[in-house]
Amino acid sequence: MRIAHIANMYGPKSGGLRTTVDALASQYEILGHQVLTVVPGKRYQAVRHGNWTQITVPGVVVPFSGGYRMILRRSLVRSELARFNPDVLELSDRTTLLKIARWARDRGIQTSFFAHERLDGVINAFAPNLPWQSKLIKYWNSKTLNSVDCVVATTDFAAHEFRELLENDSNSENRLVKVPLGVDLLRFQSIVITDPNEDNYEGSQYVLACTRFSKEKDPEFLLDIARELKSANLNCRLVLAGDGPLRAGLELQAATEQLPIEFLGFVSDKAKLANLMAYASCFLAVGPIETFGLAALESLACGTYVLCRDSSAISEVISPTCGSALARDAKLWSREIKSVLDMDPVQVSSQARLRAEEFSWDKCASNMLKIHARAA
């Protein structure tokens, strides 16, 4: 099978989206399929990994996004797709590339859209007072749904805004499909081999958050939690991995208040990230609208307890033995962190790892291939 995947907002610091695109492409290639991925960047580039070719086409920087890029010249994408001649097209964008899906469908190419975010959540975060908000959300979700053959949602939370549009559709089971993402269980483990030249966090008591410092992720809440930890004289600091447009302001505020926070910036080294996760007392996923939460799942694979917002899809990923879903209440999170610190770390690690082992990229790819084969 010839599988193409196109995406916007893919870059060195794009976290879950980049991980998903690359992991699926790698799995497809291992299984013997021809794969093409097209993503935005500074300039045109083509890189080949066996039967997987990644094309980078010039994209413009999205203002106030921290460097994310978006493809405006759809003709470049169409040219690459026409040259590759895919059997199926996967789409990780509902903005400038949505027309490509319709172009592909007109040519008999099966199209699937990955719902990486909830549109209502994004609009509520950036433009809560936008006029006719509900009508706009319904219109754009309908436009997305009608542009593709299938919407792929990673959780029930991600599926919700499309499910209500398909209430009277007899073919809804094929048009909206739930496919959980995966985790690299070899890279993310509870037993970590440390590099003597790297910072070693073993024996240091801290809680970890890996997030993008952007409004929709609510990183300000992490400072609220740090204030509560400081007020409670809890000997535990926050270690924050990530970058984004709000980072400088948060660092200044934390320094001014002398909060127990260490900012690491974006951690590109996956081995170092796994090390951080494995030695953390627990992982904080404070984002209110996460549609899956790959970093939280990676932390579970490292044997680390996860605290998440009860409004996000991460509550579907954790289990009661290895995670808690909480309201946005810093005192509550501080108390829960203290409870986790008092738990048996061996038992927690075992339960977290068992939960993570229910997810894998080969299982995710297998489910996607079933969708493609059924559509074909």
- Residue 26 sits in the same domain as residue 126: yes
- Residue 307 sits in the same domain as residue 214: yes
- Residue 276 sits in the same domain as residue 346: yes
* pLDDT over threshold 90, residue 311: yes
Residue 196's pLDDT is what?
43
Q: Which of 22, 35, 19 is nearest to 369 (CA)?
A: 35
Digit-coded pLDDT (tens) for 127-152:
777 788 888 889 999 999 999 999 99
Domain total for the chain?
A: 2
- Give the per-residue SS3 of the chain: CEEEEEECCCCCCCHHHHHHHHHHHHHHHHCCCEEEEEEEECCCEEEEECCEEEEEEECEECCCCCCCEECCCHHHHHHHHHHHCCCEEEEECCCCCHHHHHHHHHCCCEEEEECCCCHHHHHHHHCCCCCCHHHHHHHHHHHHHHHCCEEEECCHHHHHHHHHHHCCCCCHHHHEEECCCCCCCCCCCCCCCCCCCCCCCCCCCEEEEECCCCHHHCCHHHHHHHHHHHHCCCCCEEEEECCCCCHHHHHHHHHHCCCCEEEEECCCCHHHHHHHHHHCCEEEECCCCCCCCHHHHHHHHCCCCEEEECCCCHHHHCCCCCEEEECCCHHHHHHHHHHHHCCCHHHHHHHHHHHHCCCCHHHHHHHHHHHHHHHC
> Given pLDDT bands bounded at 50, 70 and 90, which one contains residue 63?
confident
Digit-coded pLDDT (tens) for 144-179:
999 999 999 999 999 999 988 898 787 888 899 999
Q: Residue 274: which domain range? A: 206-356
- Residue 137 sits in the same domain as residue 277: no
8 located within any domain: yes
* Residue predicted with more confidence, 300 or 269: 300
- Residue 257 sits in the same domain as residue 348: yes
| Tokens 């094929």 -> residue | 174
* pLDDT over threshold 70, residue 194: no
Work out the average pLDDT over 176-203.
Answer: 77
Residue 82 is part of a domain; what is its CATH number? 3.40.50.2000
- Residue 136 sits in the same domain as residue 255: no
Residue 198's pLDDT is what?
56
162 located within any domain: yes
* Residue predicted with more confidence, 311 or 121: 311
200 located within any domain: no
167 located within any domain: yes
Work out the average pLDDT over 201-209.
Answer: 81
Spatial contact of 242 and 211, defined as CB atoms under 8 Å apart:
yes
66 located within any domain: yes
- Residue 304 sits in the same domain as residue 282: yes
187 located within any domain: no
| Tokens 């590339």 -> residue | 97
287 located within any domain: yes
- Residue 226 sits in the same domain as residue 352: yes
199 located within any domain: no
Work out the average pLDDT over 15-27.
Answer: 92
Least confident of 22-26, 147-151, 154-158, 197-201: 197-201
Digit-coded pLDDT (tens) for 315-342:
999 999 999 999 999 999 999 999 999 9
- Residue 28 sits in the same domain as residue 121: yes
- Residue 131 sits in the same domain as residue 144: yes
Q: Full-prediction pTM beyond 0.85?
A: yes
Residue 86's pLDDT is what?
96
- Residue 29 sits in the same domain as residue 172: yes
- Residue 348 sits in the same domain as residue 212: yes
* pLDDT over threshold 90, residue 376: no
Residue 203's pLDDT is what?
60
Digit-coded pLDDT (tens) for 72-104:
999 999 999 999 999 999 999 999 999 999 999
